[in-house]
Structure 1
Amino acid sequence: MKCLVTGAAGFIGSHLCERLLAEEHEVVGLDCFTDYYPRAIKEQNLSRLRPQRGFTFWELDLSVEVPRSVLEGVQWIFHLAAMPGLVRSWQDFDSYNRHNVTATQRLLEAARALPTLRRFLYASTSSVYGKYASGDESLPTRPSSPYGLTKLAGEHLCRVYSETYGLPIVVLRYFSVYGPRQRPDMGYYQFVEALLTGRPIRLTGDGLQVRGNTFVTDCVEATVRAAEALPGETFNVGGGELATIREVIRLLERLTGQRAVIEHLPPRPGDQVATGADVSKLTRHTGWTPRTPLAEGLAQQVAWQRALLEKALPLRKAG
C-alpha cells in the first residue's frame, strides 16, 4: 500500500511510520512542526525514518494547502496530525481550531478527489467523552476542554464527508498512550524525568484520577488493523489496564529506584477524572487486543528516558 501519515514526526506518528515501512508499505510522511514542543525532538524521531527505503517526507501545513502531488496514488491515509494538549487549548483556541478542524477539512476535501483511496483513518481521543470516559463507543460525547471539542469537530467532519461523498472513514479514539518518544508535556514523561533528575513531581489534583493506559506499539497495531475495518465505524483504542495516577507514580518509583517528592497543584480545568476504554468492538472487528502490561511498557519508557538523559549529560558538562 501507499500510505500517507500526517503528524509523522510526532510520538505515535513516527512509530506508525516505522511499522508500515517494516511491512514494506510505501510511506509519505507529513508534519508542519508546530511550536507546541521543540522541533529538535521531532527531528530526532524523523532521523530513524529519513534513511529508509520507501519513505518520503513533506514539511507542510494542512490548514493552508494540500498539494495534489502529496496524495498522488495514496491508498491509506492515517490522519494523526493535531494540536495536542489540554491546558494550552484554553489559551490559544485559534491554533487548535486551525490545526484540528481547518486542517482536517482541507485534507478531507482533497481526499474526496482521490480515486485510489481505500481508507481514511482519523485519530481522535478519549477527550471527546469528557471528564468521565469509561465505557464503550456509545458513551455520550461531552468534551470538557477546547482540545476535546476540536477533536470531536474533526470526527463530525469525517462523518459529513463519509455520508455526503462516500469517503471510507474509520475513527479511532486513543486512550492515554505512553511509551518511548512520548511528548515532553505528557504526564508520564514528566514523572519519569522528575524521578531520574531528583526534582519534585508536580501532581495536579489528588492523584486518584484513573487512566486506561495504552502502550504505543499496541496503539500502532490497532491503527494498522483498523485500516482493514469496515468504513463508517468508530473504535476505542485502549490498553485495558487501569491505574490511578498515584499507582503509576509508585510503579515508576520501583522502576527508577528513586523515591518521589510530590508537589501538589490544583486540578487543571477540564481534566479527565476517569478514562477506561471498552475495546470489545475493535476486537470483534479486527481481532486486536492490547498485549503490553503497564509495568512492562513503563519499563521501556524509563529506559528510553534514562538513555536520553545520559546522552544529554556530556553535552551539559561540555557547555
Structure 2
Amino acid sequence: MNQDEGLNCNPVQHLEFYNINLNAWCKVNGFDMPSPRSFFAGEILDECKLHLFGGFNGEEFSLKCQKFDLMSGEWSDLPQMAKERVDRCYASATEMDGEIYVSGGHHKRAQNKARSVEKFNPVVNAWSQVPNLTSARCEAALVNLNGCLYVIGGFDGVAVLSSVEKLEPDSRWTFSARMIRQRSGLGAVALPGCILVFGGHDGFQRLADGEKFNPDSETWTLLAPMVQARSNFGIASIGRLVFAVGGYGGPEPGQPLAEVEAYDPSIDKWFPVEKMLSPRSGLIACVADNLQLALKVWGTEERKGCVLLTSSLEKDSHQQEHAGGLSTPMLDPLPNGWLQNNTNENA
C-alpha cells in the first residue's frame, strides 16, 4: 500500500465493541480516545488494559504511549519509548510473558524505517531495549509463538517483504522461512502450534489469501482466501476463530471497509459476520475477555463470550453509506450457533 494513501484519511476517536453472542457492534459513551489516532501499535494486558503506542493524528506522526483501563474508562500516559524518542507510525506490537514488545515502524521526521525493538514492563512502568531487527521494516506483523517472537513481512522503504525474523530467548534475531508471498499491512495471529497470516499488499494489489506457518518443519502452506481482499486491518483470535476487521479494500483507492469476517481453521473457510458501524482502517483488534466488561457494555444477563475491541481510521462520514453498499461475494450463511460454539473459552 502507498503509505501516503493511508495518511490522507481522517483518524477518529471512538472505539467499537463487538458482542459475539448477539453478532452486533456498538459504541460506548465515554470510551473515546483522548484525540483522533490511527496506524498505532497496540496490545491489551490483564484482559482490560489497552496499551497504544505511536500512530498518526491526522496531521503528524505521534510518539505518545497511552493506557486505557476498560473497567474504569480512564486514559493515562505512559513513558515514551527509550530508544527512539521520535514519532513513530506503522509499528507492530505483541504480548509475551506480561510485557509488550514493539518493533519496527516508520519515522516521519527521519523518513526512514526502524530496526529497533523495545519491550514495556507494566509492573515497573518502564521500557527496555531488545536486540534490533536484522532488516528495518514497517507495516509488518509481530506475534509470539512458543516463547519466540516472529516479525513477518512488511515494507523496508524499497520493497514489500516476504522475509520472517525470529527472536529466541536470550538470543538475536535470525531469519526463518520466508512466506510464499510478499506482504505488507498483513494480519497475523498465533494459534497453538502455528502462525496464520492473511491479506496485506504485495506492492501491486491487495491480497485475500492466507498462509499457515509450521515452526517444526519451517514451512508455509496456502490457506483459503478471505471474502474481501484487505490490508491494514485488525485481526484477533477468539476461541477457535480468527476475525478480520475493516482495513483497506474498497473499489476506490484508499477506501476503508466496514466488513468483518470470521475464519474457522478446522474447515479452512471464512464467513461474513456483522459489519462495523463505521468503515475504518489502520486499526487494531483486541480481545477483552472479561465478564464485568461485557456486563458494563451490554447490561444484559446473556451468556458472555469475548468482546472484540477495535479503533482507528475512517473516511469522512459521507463515505459510510457507500461503503456499506459494496458489492462483495458472500459465502455460506452463518450456521446456527456457530459463533458461540467456536468462541466459547472451553471449546
TM-score, normalised with respect to structure 1: 0.32
Larger strand fraction of residues: 2
Larger helix fraction of residues: 1
> Greater relative contact order (Cα 8 A, min sep 6): structure 1 or 2?
1
TM-score, normalised with respect to structure 2: 0.30
